[in-house]
């Protein structure tokens, strides 16, 4: 069974253009993503899914520099981009991550994938986003290629084509959903990258932790924020864009 992690990435971002190519401690955000995902033991292959737009040649070139396979597809129909990327790379199981999460914790993602693999007979889709308890920025979604193919063939709403997985988690009558939750609710934390404030916070976290351990995880960040609670104020007022 082949587990393929597909990361969607493009340079177009309304709030922070070219965010995944921004540098943090000498590496692009996308490179930090890849470095962290490579530490997830139950992922067999990583694929960057970008668009066929001319501007996204920058993403393709970065993927080549990082020796990471990439697929170029529709900018607006991200569901089709995911489907064809998964099909081309012969995925049996798809792990969906986004490229704006350079604080991704490999242990958390690995645990979610393991939970899905252990419960494939019960669930079509597993994620830690159905009931948020993890910091935003550690989001991980897992589902089979067959389920992705069904969504690709059935979804017609723009919302469902543009965001890949809403067709799965908003159709509870069609799919069995599994929610992976933390024992403690950390959902008030925002560690994703979408604004300058987010970028400032991420840089400060890397400044504090990266030299000690390049692959610091959720617990180390939580300890840092406990010691320096003022850091949480940097992006506290930022609201997540709605689907």
Show the tokens assigned to 215.
């692959």
Residue 208 within any structural domain of the chain: no
Q: Give every residue of the chain whose pLDDT is below 70, as ranges.
A: 240-243
pLDDT score of 18: 92
Q: Is residue 217 part of a domain?
A: no
DSSP type of residue 240: P
| pLDDT given for residue 240 in this prediction | 65
Assigned domain for 228 exists: no
Domain that holds residue 121: 3-189
pLDDT of residue 61: 97
Per-residue confidence (pLDDT) for residue 13, from 0 to 100 = 73
**Residue 41 burial (C-beta neighbours within 10 Å; 0-12, 13-18, 19+):** exposed
pLDDT of residue 227: 97
At a CB cut-off of 8 Å and minimum separation 6, what does 140 contact? 95, 96, 97, 108, 109, 112, 113, 127, 128, 129, 180
93 domain residue, yes or no: yes
- Cβ neighbours of 130 (radius 10 Å): 16
* Number of domains comprising the chain: 1
What is the CATH number for 168?
3.90.550.10
Residue whose entry in the numeric block shows the structure tokens 């099909």? 87
In a domain? residue 74: yes
Q: Is residue 126 part of a domain?
A: yes
Domain for residue 14, yes or no?
yes
**pTM (2 decimals)?**
0.95
Q: Write down the pLDDT at residue 241.
A: 62
Q: Does a structural domain hold residue 242? A: no
Interatomic CA distance for residues 135 and 38, integer angstroms: 21
């Amino acid at each position: 069974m082949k587990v393929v992690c597909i990361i969607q990435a493009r340079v177009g971002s309304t709030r922070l253009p070219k965010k995944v190519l921004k540098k943090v401690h000498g590496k692009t955000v996308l490179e930090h993503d890849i470095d962290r995902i490579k530490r997830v033991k139950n992922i067999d292959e990583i694929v960057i899914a970008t668009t066929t737009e001319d501007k996204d040649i920058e993403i393709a070139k970065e993927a080549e520099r990082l020796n990471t396979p990439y697929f170029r597809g529709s900018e607006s129909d991200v569901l089709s981009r995911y489907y064809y990327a998964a099909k081309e790379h012969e995925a049996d199981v798809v792990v969906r991550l986004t490229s704006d999460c350079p604080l991704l914790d490999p242990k958390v993602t690995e645990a979610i994938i393991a939970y899905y693999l252990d419960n494939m007979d019960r669930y079509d889709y597993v994620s830690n986003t159905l009931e948020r308890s993890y910091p935003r920025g550690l989001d991980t979604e897992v589902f089979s290629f067959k389920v992705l193919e069904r969504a690709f063939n059935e979804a017609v709403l723009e919302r469902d084509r543009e965001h890949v997985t809403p067709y799965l988690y908003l159709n509870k009558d069609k799919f069995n959903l599994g929610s992976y939750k933390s024992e403690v609710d950390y959902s008030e934390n925002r560690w994703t990258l979408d604004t300058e404030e987010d970028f400032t916070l991420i840089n400060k976290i890397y400044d504090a932790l990266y030299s000690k351990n390049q692959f610091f995880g959720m617990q180390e960040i939580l300890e840092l924020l406990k010691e320096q609670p003022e850091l949480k104020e940097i992006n506290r007022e930022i609201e997540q864009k709605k689907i």
